[in-house]
Amino acid sequence: MCGIIGYIGKSEAAPILLEGLRRLEYRGYDSAGLATLNGGLSIRKCKGRIANLAELIAREPICGSIGISHTRWATHGGVTDENAHPHFDQSGKLVLVHNGVIENYQTLKEALAAEGHQFKSQTDTEVLAHLIGKHYDGIGGGATRKRLVEAVRKALKEVTGTYGIAVMHEDVPGVLVGARRGSPLVLGIGKGENFLASDVSAIVGHTREAVYLRDYDIVSLDGEDFEISTLNGGASGFEISKVELTEDDVSKGSYPHYMLKEIFEQPDSLANALRGRLSLEESTAKLGGLNMTPTELRNIERIVLTGCGTACHAAMAGEYLLESLAHLPTEVEFASEFRYRNMPMNKDTVVFAISQSGETADTLAALRESQRKGHRTLGICNNVASTIARESDGGVYMHAGPEIGVAATKSFTSQVTILTLLGLLLGRIRHLSTSEGIQIMEELQAIPEKVRSILKQSDYIKTIAEKYSYAKAMMFLGRQFNYPVAMEGALKMKEISYLHAEGHPSAELKHGVIALISPEVPSVFIAPDDSVYDKNISNIEEVKARKGPVIAIGTEGDTKLAKVADDVIYIPRCPDYLSPLLTVIPLQLFAYHLAVKLGCDVDKPRNLAKSVTVE
């Protein structure tokens, strides 16, 4: 979950590294550090945001045309200057940055301490630096690129856990070494300069070519070329990819926050998710990336959807969608629990692993466990070059564009859209008629413009959010298709405003939850004019009877809701099964505006990072 960028070339490294760290700060912002090599190693690091590091370097400049840097999301050891990366080895000549978790670091640390190694931090990363340094000194011979690579290889063979690393050594001044297992690492190829980064967004201003390293790859690079091998020393097959992202894609533009920009990008991201995937001739969806024949699709007897956080909520909406449109038994499993369960699944069960980044550690582990058990396992992700995209048996890309705000917004609606397309596809080969297929397609195509109309209410939603900024906690309640939306609305509120929020099915209110209702605890009801509308109205009445304020999400033209709720936000009319794509938009804006009112940093909420690459 940390951010890494390394540079080697002819330019001064520090400004390039600082620029890259700013673009990676969504991956972690507890502390940051930078090391360059110019005759000797120089390090600057401190706790806090990238701005703190930039101020430190302005006071104490650092130079050199080779360097590595890091922005941290703490796993081992508190948030201190000492625990910030980079970390030295025992000799003080090798320096390392690391994303991941070394699970056996304590055993390794004890063994190294017995040999006389002394540690200055509480991190697992420093142990890895010492281990590589030990092997480098033990190999002997000249100070060569081969020697440094071999030291990294020997050390990583002793390691249990995950890593994306970048390493420099004072005695090998023209070389950077990187390696990955379970944590992403990208090689950026420039002209007379090369890069390492945990995310291509860090280097889009400098290169249009990249190699997305695979697990167990080790790369060494200088300013002109690079070599990639495997942990076992063999050749690694790699592919040079074109970097499609631009600097504009990863900038905020005129928006004050990435989150708001990404909320407003949803009409386009939804259109991109649909583009080329609807067949008028066959009245169905086209998802060729599933790599399944019509017969294989027809033989599916059960679907399991797995993901974490927002992706799990999208899966929950997908469960309702697939059961409604395709009449297929569907279950949702937290990816973090999936591999630890011994869940009975027959041979005709298909598993979908859902992840925006395609690198989520828990979801990747669930994918591998599913494949280990012999099940066809497909991916739904946003990153074409991600590990889930590479390792799955097929899948669907979201085409949502980069999502940098830590709180997921457009990825939720893109994932739900893709699951709707899947429901249409599977429904049409089972029971849905041609006319039903056409109707679903027409309703889907209308969604982006309906979202656009909801976004025009942003200022109105802002006034409602500010009205309830006194709240101590909030309840989010919905039924059927909108129960997952209630969960997602509560998650957004928790993530960026730090307000205690709970999401529940509306009917569960009277089974204990109603004890929390008070004038200080507003309830947000997702109550469109659907098949359970009257039931939601009854639940709202129950809250009002106990003096609980109510904000409701209703359907345009509904006059009844305004008589029972304190405030109403209206969405355009749509079929029940598509309502999550609309009802979630006001909740995203509501959480955003309330968090801004409270003075919270919505793009970098405390304790969170965007891409969770550690378990």
Give the residue carrying structure tokens 């970097």.
243
Helices (H), 26-104: 50-59
In percent, the amount of the chain with pLDDT more than 90 equals 81
Contact 597, 469 (CB under 8 A): yes
Burial 360-399 (b: 16+ CB within 10 A, else e): bbbbbbbbbbbbeeebbbbbbbbbebbbbbebbbbbbbbb
- pLDDT over 90 at 500, yes or no: yes
Contact 614, 361 (CB under 8 A): yes
Which residue among 2, 308, 381, 574 is the active-site one? 2
Question: pLDDT band at residue 140, thresholds of 50, 70 and 90?
Answer: confident
- pLDDT over 80 at 1, yes or no: no
What pLDDT score does 334 carry? 94
What pLDDT score does 57 carry? 95
Which residue among 47, 109, 494, 610 is the active-site one? 610
Nearest CA to 143 among 167, 173, 166? 173
Mean pLDDT on 48-60: 94
What pLDDT score does 121 carry? 94
Report the number of secondary-structure helices (H) and strands (E) in the chain.
19, 26
Sheet containing 40-47: which strands, arranged edge to edge?
40-47, 31-38, 66-72, 3-8, 194-197, 186-189, 209-212, 240-242
Better-predicted residue by pLDDT, 574 or 402? 574
What pLDDT score does 408 carry? 94
Q: What is the pLDDT of residues 292-326, one digit of tens each?
A: 999 999 999 999 999 999 999 999 999 999 999 99
| Sign of the dihedral defined by the CA atoms of residues 152, 156, 159, 163, in that order | positive
Mean pLDDT on 43-55: 93
Burial class (CB in 10 A: 0-12, 13-18, 19+), 139: middle
What's the distance, CA 607 to chain centroid?
15
Contact 225, 175 (CB under 8 A): no
Burial class (CB in 10 A: 0-12, 13-18, 19+), 545: exposed
Question: pLDDT band at residue 242, thresholds of 50, 70 and 90?
Answer: confident
Contact 34, 17 (CB under 8 A): yes
Mean pLDDT on 15-23: 93
What pLDDT score does 64 carry? 95
Helices (H), 358-428: 361-372, 387-391, 410-428
- pLDDT over 80 at 341, yes or no: yes
Q: Is 380 helix (H, G, I), strand (E, B) or coil?
A: strand
* pLDDT, averaged across the chain: 93
610 is catalytic: yes
Question: What domains are defined for the chain?
Answer: 3-242 (3.60.20.10), 252-455 (3.40.50.10490), 457-603 (3.40.50.10490)
Q: Is 410 helix (H, G, I), strand (E, B) or coil?
A: helix
- pLDDT over 90 at 407, yes or no: yes
Q: What is the pLDDT of residues 261-296, one digit of tens each?
A: 999 999 999 999 999 999 999 999 999 999 999 999
547 is catalytic: no
Give the residue carrying structure tokens 């997602």.
488
DSSP letter, residue 335: H
Continuous segment of H or E residues that includes residue 567: strand 567-571
- pLDDT over 90 at 238, yes or no: no
Torsion, Cα 448 454 459 460, to 10 degrees, reads 180
Q: Residue 126 corresponds to which tokens in the numbers above?
A: 């420093």
In this structure, of 353-357, 401-405, 465-469, the range with the lowest mean pLDDT score is 401-405
Strand ranges (DSSP E) for 293-406?
A: 302-307, 330-334, 349-355, 376-381, 395-397
Q: What is the pLDDT of residues 222-233, one digit of tens each?
A: 999 999 999 998
91: left (phi over 0), alpha (psi -120 to 50) or beta: alpha
Question: pLDDT band at residue 535, thresholds of 50, 70 and 90?
Answer: very high
What pLDDT score does 611 carry? 67
Q: Is 87 helix (H, G, I), strand (E, B) or coil?
A: strand
Q: How far is CA 73 from each of CA 2, 323, 576, rounded to the nearest angstrom?
A: 5, 39, 40
What pLDDT score does 606 carry? 87
